[in-house]
C-alpha cells in the first residue's frame, strides 16, 4: 500500500558518538522509507570510512543529512518534537503513543523524533524543548537499546500504522500548531523579561528553573496565534 513519504517524521540524532551507529541508522531508516536525517554535532566526520559500508546501500539518506551546531537551531521548522528516553528525568514529559503520533503526522504537521547520545541520552536542556516522549516497551531490567535498533523500532511502528486506514474516532487536534522557531522567539523574550524583573534570585539555579518553565509551555500545544499573543503581552510588560 502507498503513502506519502513526505508525511514521515525526520530523525534527529544529537551528539552521536560512533560512525557505525550513523551508518546502521541510515540503513534502518530506509528499510521503512524514512529518508530525512539531521545531526547535531556528531563526534566524528561525515567522511568517516566506517559509515558507508555499514549503511549497506542507504547512501541516499547519508548524502542528504543536515548538520547543525545547536539542537535549538535544528528544530526551528517543526511543529512537534518527540524525545526518546529510557531514563527517569527530573523533567516530567507527557508520553505519546505511536497511534496518537500517527494522527499528528496525518495532519501534515512537521514532526521530529529525537535520539540522544549513545552513553547518556538527551540532556535536560534539549529535553525542555521537546513536546512529548515516546517509549519503546522492553525488559525493565535491561532496557538500554543500541541507537540504530531504537531508530528501527520507532520507524517500523510508524511505517506499519501509516499503512493502515484512519480511525474515525480521532481526538481533535489543535489547528495551526506553532513551529519551534516561534516558541524559541517567545522563550527569548520571556527569559529577558524575567531577568529584568530579577525573577532568577539564585543565578546558579537559573538554567534549571528556566528549563522547568519551558516544560510548562510544552505541555500545552499552542497555536501560532496564541504564541504571537504571548509575545505581544511580554513585549508590553518589558
pLDDT of 33 strictly over 60: yes
Averaged pLDDT, 18-23: 96
* CA–CA distances in Å: residue 97 to residues 22, 134, 230: 26, 7, 29
Averaged pLDDT, 209-222: 88
pLDDT of 169 strictly over 60: no
Question: Is the separation of the CB atoms in 62 and 23 below 8 Å?
Answer: yes
Sign of the dihedral defined by the CA atoms of residues 196, 198, 199, 201, in that order: positive
Q: Which residue in the block uniquely carries the three cell numbers 504564541?
A: 227
Question: Is the separation of the CB atoms in 12 and 75 below 8 Å?
Answer: yes
Pairing outcome for strands 80-84 and 132-134: parallel
pLDDT of 228 strictly over 90: yes
Q: pLDDT confidence of 2, banded at 50, 70, 90?
A: low
Question: Is the separation of the CB atoms in 121 and 13 below 8 Å?
Answer: no
pLDDT at 89: 57
The CATH classification of domain 5-163, taken from the options 3.40.1280.10, 3.20.20.80, 3.40.50.2300, 3.40.50.150: 3.40.1280.10
Q: Nine-digit cell at 201?
A: 534570585
Averaged pLDDT, 57-72: 95
pLDDT digits (tens, 9 = 90+) for 126-168: 999 999 999 888 888 887 889 999 999 999 999 999 887 655 4
* DSSP string of the chain, one letter each residue: ----GGGSPEEEEES---HHHHHHHHHHHHHTT---EEEES-SS-TT-TTHHHHHTT-HHHHHT-EEES-HHHHTTT-SEEEEE--S--SS---B--HHHHHHHHHTT--EEEEE--TTT---HHHHTT-SEEE-----TTS----HHHHHHHHHHHHHHHHHSPPPTTPPPPPSSBPPHHHHHHHHHHHHHHHHHTT--SSGGGHHHHHHHHHHHHHHS--BHHHHHHHHHHHHHH-
For residues 58 and 5, give the distance between their C-alpha atoms in angstroms, rounded to a whole number. 16
Q: In percent, how much of the chain has pLDDT > 90?
A: 65
The neighbour count for residue 237, using CB atoms within 10 Å, is: 11
Question: Is the separation of the CB atoms in 15 and 116 below 8 Å?
Answer: yes
pLDDT of 4 strictly over 80: no
pTM for the full model? 0.85
Q: In percent, how much of the chain has pLDDT > 70?
A: 91
pLDDT at 93: 82
Mean pLDDT (the chain) is: 88
Domain boundaries, the chain: 5-163, 180-237
pLDDT of 87 strictly over 80: no
Averaged pLDDT, 167-188: 76
Sign of the dihedral defined by the CA atoms of residues 126, 137, 132, 18, in that order: positive
Amino acid at each position: 500500500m502507498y503513502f506519502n513519504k513526505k508525511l514521515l517524521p525526520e530523525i534527529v540524532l544529537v551528539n552521536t558518538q560512533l560512525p557505525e551507529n550513523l551508518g546502521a541508522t541510515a540503513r534502518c531508516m530506509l528499510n521503512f522509507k524514512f529518508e530525512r536525517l539531521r545531526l547535531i554535532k556528531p563526534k566524528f566526520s561525515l567522511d568517516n570510512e566506517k559509515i558507508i559500508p555499514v549503511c549497506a546501500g542507504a547512501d541516499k539518506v547519508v548524502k542528504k543529512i543536515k548538520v547543525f551546531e545547536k539542537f535549538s537551531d535544528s528544530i526551528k521548522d517543526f511543529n512537534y518534537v518527540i524525545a526518546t528516553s529510557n531514563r527517569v528525568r527530573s523533567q516530567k514529559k507527557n508520553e505519546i503513543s505511536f497511534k496518537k503520533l500517527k494522527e499528528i503526522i496525518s495532519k501534515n504537521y512537521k514532526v521530529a523524533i529525537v535520539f540522544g547520545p549513545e552513553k547518556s541520552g538527551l540532556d535536560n536542556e534539549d529535553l525542555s524543548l521537546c513536546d512529548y516522549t515516546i517509549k519503546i516497551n522492553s525488559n525493565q531490567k535491561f532496557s538500554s537499546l543500541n541507537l540504530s535498533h531504537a531508530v528501527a523500532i520507532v520507524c517500523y511502528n510508524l511505517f506499519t500504522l501509516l499503512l493502515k486506514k484512519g480511525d474515525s474516532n480521532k481526538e481533535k487536534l489543535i489547528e495551526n500548531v506553532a513551529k519551534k522557531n516561534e516558541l524559541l522567539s517567545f522563550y527569548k523574550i520571556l527569559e529577558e523579561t524575567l531577568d529584568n524583573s530579577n525573577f532568577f534570585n539564585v543565578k546558579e539555579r537559573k538554567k534549571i528553573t528556566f528549563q522547568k518553565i519551558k516544560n510548562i509551555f510544552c505541555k500545552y500545544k499552542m497555536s501560532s496565534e496564541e504564541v504571537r499573543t504571548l509575545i505581544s503581552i511580554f513585549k508590553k510588560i518589558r
